[in-house]
Amino acid sequence: MDTRSLLQRISEFMAVFFERLSDLFVPSDGGISMIIVRPAKPTDSGAWLQLRCGLWPDGSEAQHREDIDRFFAGDAGEPRAILLAENGAGCPVGFAELSIRAYAEGCDSDRVAYLEGWFVAPTARGSGVGRALLAAAEEWGRAQGCREFASDVQSDNEASAAAHRALGFVEVGLVRCFRKDL
Ligand SMILES: CC(C)(COP(=O)(O)OP(=O)(O)OC[C@H]1O[C@@H](n2cnc3c(N)ncnc32)[C@H](O)[C@@H]1OP(=O)(O)O)[C@@H](O)C(=O)NCCC(=O)NCCS
């Protein structure tokens, strides 16, 4: 091998070496760039189920499982999309469920991207996972042709209300819900 080829091989080796090495370090943004948000796949059913039970513990596991199966079978009108956040180890740590609503409080368009569910595992909170999920959700909404994005929160969920405000949502009203048997 001549000197030129040898130098070329060394330079290629060093480029790959430094690329791999950089993967071992947490970036200076505190690790946020290691979060991957992607659409959920059928193989994510178990992880999504676990996270969903965390957000809506009042629903039975069987009911959640049924909703998940219907979604992947394409039989569910809602949600329209599920985004899953993975940490650097490839472990699912949060999700967002999205729909499009013809009406949402405070909105003036009739095709509003809607955040039906938003959850980050307690141990992963406060490190940008929720923010990354919402950024991807907004992208999804734009891609669906929506120009407004809406959400709702239980009136006593101050933490979530604060997180919504921190991410640019503006509070537009407080609704009380009622029901009766027919
Ligand atoms: C709401 C929730 C999804 C936020 O996820 P998260 O990963 O902790 O959020 P992030 O770390 O990305 O924070 C996003 C922003 O919200 C703010 N925020 C998050 N939690 C907050 C809290 N408890 N109090 C005040 N602000 C908060 C952050 O400061 C951040 O703003 P900044 O970047 O300007 O500092 C998460 O707390 C959660 O799963 N809560 C329980 C379920 C829930 O209430 N879901 C919403 C109702 S559908």
pLDDT in tens, 104-150: 999 999 999 999 999 999 999 999 999 999 999 999 999 999 999 99
Look up the domain containing 125 and give its range.
3-101+111-147
| Number of C-beta neighbours around residue 51 at 10 A | 24
Q: Can you tell me the mean pLDDT for 93-107?
A: 98
Residue 160 lies in a domain: no
Lowest mean pLDDT among 1-5, 44-48, 152-156: 1-5
Q: Can you tell me the mean pLDDT for 58-76?
A: 96
- Spatial distance between the Cα atoms of 85 and 120, rounded to a whole number of angstroms: 8
Residue 181 lies in a domain: no
* Chain position carrying tokens 């919402």: 134
161 pLDDT more than 50 = yes
Residue 41 lies in a domain: yes
Q: Can you tell me the mean pLDDT for 75-101?
A: 96
Most confident of 5-19, 30-44, 147-161: 147-161
133 ligand 1 Cβ < 6 A: no
Residue 152 lies in a domain: no
Cα separations (Å) of 81 from 65, 71, 89, 91, 144? 16, 9, 23, 20, 11
159 pLDDT more than 60 = yes
- How many domains in the chain? 1
Question: The pTM is what?
Answer: 0.85
Residue 13 lies in a domain: yes
Residue 142 lies in a domain: yes
- Spatial distance between the Cα atoms of 48 and 81, rounded to a whole number of angstroms: 12
Beta-carbon contacts of 154 under 8 Å, excluding residues fewer than 6 positions away, are 160
Residue 172 lies in a domain: no
Nearest CA to ligand 1 atom 17: 163
Q: Which of 58, 131, 149, 152 to mutate to test the pocket of ligand 1 (most atoms within 8 A of CB)?
A: 131
Residue 128 lies in a domain: yes
Amino acid letter, 84:
L
* CATH classification at residue 57: 3.40.630.30
**Cα 154 to averaged position of ligand 1 atoms, centre (Å):** 14
State the pairing for strand pair 149-151/112-120: parallel
The DSSP call for residue 46 is H
- Spatial distance between the Cα atoms of 163 and 156, rounded to a whole number of angstroms: 13
- What is the chain's mean pLDDT, rounded? 89
What is residue 17's predicted lDDT score, i.e. its pLDDT? 43
